Chains A and B, each alone.
Chain A
Amino acid sequence: MNDRLQAHLSPEVILQQIKRHGVTHVVWLPDSETNWLYLLMKADPALTLVAVPREGLACSVAAGLAAGGKVPVILVQNTGLMESGDSIRGWLFGLEIPVVFMVGMRGWNRHGAPTADTASVYTEPFLNAFRINYYLVESDADADRISVAFEESKRTKRPVAVLVGDEYHGFNK
């Protein structure tokens, strides 16, 4: 089996995991990893997509949704995660909002091979600085980590991140 097949991560599997945890709203900004997932979510009548033009706004939208009794998930690229720092601090940690960040790992290459894109270089240090726990998902075999993230977020009332590390291996078909 070649590396491309081994690494395959299906958007259908991601969506199945998200829905398993009762997500009602996807607060998101597009990235290069998630277009096929977007098309699936858009076709799903059980999900409301809330598009924001800047990722920090996703945190406060999600906080409002959670305060009002809904279950949001935040879908952004790692670049946008880093842009959202103060909103994460204030709106998510401050209000103790249980929410999962699905984070497209721009610049990530499996096995830690370096790329010219610095976005992934800073992602894990950023998450560690904010004490946000995270789970790397690179293939369908990793998908149950998404459930772990949702359960942890609900239990701890904190944001938890899922790093979607498949930019170069088929997630975007």
Chain B
Amino acid sequence: MIDTAEMLKAFNAHRGDAIVVPGRGGRHWVRISSEPDLDLPMGDPAMGGHAAFAFGVALAQPQRRVVLFDSEGDLQMGLGILLTVAELKPANFYHFLLDNECYATTGGQPVPNAKNVDYMMMAKAAGYPRAYAFTELDALSAALPEIIGQPGPVFVAMKVNPDVENKPITQRTKWRTRSWTQVIADLQRRLCIAA
């Protein structure tokens, strides 16, 4: 099993000027990121849409890498996006999946068929030209230059430790420091996109 925060630290060394959508890894990423203006830490606007959102950003900014840290619970809600990504094949899209086999933010209940789903094979079957799976950080860290160095779309399934939260939502530490609209405005300003 991979520690999400350690994995994100390893990734940060390779991010370059990529736009990063950290998904459920956001609470770690906001403390790790070297380029916060290029991050889109959205938290959870509506579950099931993170991959589609990051894919949309990738279509809009084809000259720049877009890296998503999706989660298996989110992806299960919108699996069809794998087909859409595979059809348009954005060469700048890197789709990492944090698979902790549970809904960590609601107390750790298992996702459907939690231990038996092969997301790498699902991505390949949907039409992703390249897909990987990792259960250990060392192997993933060694492969990161190759993964990031090749054209997308690339899918990377990772088994990660569940960071289960069981406190009432009002008692949890708020890790998002910027509003959704501020996050987007910061990115657009950085990319010189007229609002």
A interface, CB within 8 angstroms of B: 25, 27, 48, 50-54, 56-70, 72, 86-87, 89-91, 94-96
- Say whether B193 contacts A90, CB under 8 Å: no
Q: Can you list 10 A-B contacts (CB < 8 A)?
A: A48-B59, A48-B88, A54-B78, A56-B78, A57-B78, A58-B52, A59-B49, A61-B56, A65-B59, A68-B193
- Which residues of chain B are near A62, meaning CB under 8 Å? 56
B187 with A67: CB separation less than 8 A: yes
Complex: A67 Cα to B41 Cα, angstroms:
13
Instruction: Among A50, A68, A87, A91, point to the contact of B84 (Cβ < 8 A).
Output: A50
Q: Please give me the residue from chain A that is nearest to B52 by CB atom.
A: A60
Contact A64/B193 with A57-B80, A69-B188, A94-B46 known, Cβ cut-off 8 Å: no
B interface, over-half SS:
helix
Q: How far in angstroms is the closest Cβ of chain A from B84?
A: 5
Residue of B nearest to A63 (CB): B53
B139 CB within 8 Å of chain A: no
A26–B33 alpha-carbon span in the complex (Å): 33
Q: Counting CB contacts under 8 A, is B149 at the interface?
A: no
CB-based contact A90/B84 at 8 Å: no
**Contact in complex: B184, A95 (CB < 8 Å):** yes
- Nearest CB in chain A: distance from B126 CB, A: 10
Whole-angstrom distance between the Cβ of A101 and the nearest chain B Cβ: 16
Write the B76-89 contact mask toward A (1 if CB under 8 angstroms, else 0): 00101101100110
Report the tally of A-B residue pairs with Cβ distances under 8 A.
122
Rounded to whole angstroms, the CA-CA distance of A70 and B60 in the bound complex is 6
Measured in the bound complex, the distance between the Cα atoms of B88 and A48 in whole Å is 10
Q: CA–CA, A52 to B59, complex, Å?
A: 14
Q: Decide: A70 near B59, CB < 8 A? Known: A51-B87, A64-B54.
A: yes
Given contacts A53-B80, A60-B50, A87-B48, contact A68 B56 (CB under 8 A): yes
B46 — which chain A residues lie within 8 A by C-beta? 56, 59-60, 86-87, 89-91, 94
Contact partner of A52 among B80, B181, B193, CB < 8 A? B80
B76 to nearest A CB, angstroms?
Answer: 13
Cross-interface CB contact of B59 among A25, A53, A89, A91, cutoff 8 Å: A25
Chain A, residue nearest B83 (CB): A53
B20 vs chain A, min Cβ distance (A): 13
Q: What is the chain B residue whose CB lies nearest that of A57?
A: B52
Q: B56 to A63, Cβ gap below 8 A?
A: yes
Nearest-Cβ distance from residue B65 to partner chain A, whole angstroms:
13
CB of B55 within 8 Å of the partner chain = yes
Q: Is B2 an interface residue (CB 8 A)?
A: no
Q: Is B180 an interface residue (CB 8 A)?
A: yes
Contact A69 B193 (CB under 8 A): yes
Are B53 and A54 in touch, CB under 8 angstroms? no
Return the contact of B60 from the options A64, A89, A90 (Cβ within 8 A): A64
List residues of chain A with CB within 8 A of the CB of B49: 56-57, 59-60, 63, 87, 90-91
Enumerate chain A residues within 8 angstroms of B88, measured Cβ to Cβ: 48, 50
Distance (whole angstroms) from the CB of B105 to the closest CB of chain A: 15
Bound-state Cα–Cα, A91 to B74, Å: 14
Contacting pair B181 A57 (CB below 8 A): no
Chain B neighbourhood of A91, CB < 8 A: 45-46, 49, 53
A64→B184 contact, CB < 8 A: no
Quote the shortest CB–CB distance from B187 to chain A (angstroms): 7
- The chain A residue sitting closest to B77, CB to CB, is A56
Query: Considering the chains assembled together, what is the distance between the CA atoms of A96 and B182 in angstroms?
Result: 11
- A26 to B78: give the CA distance in the assembly, Å: 19
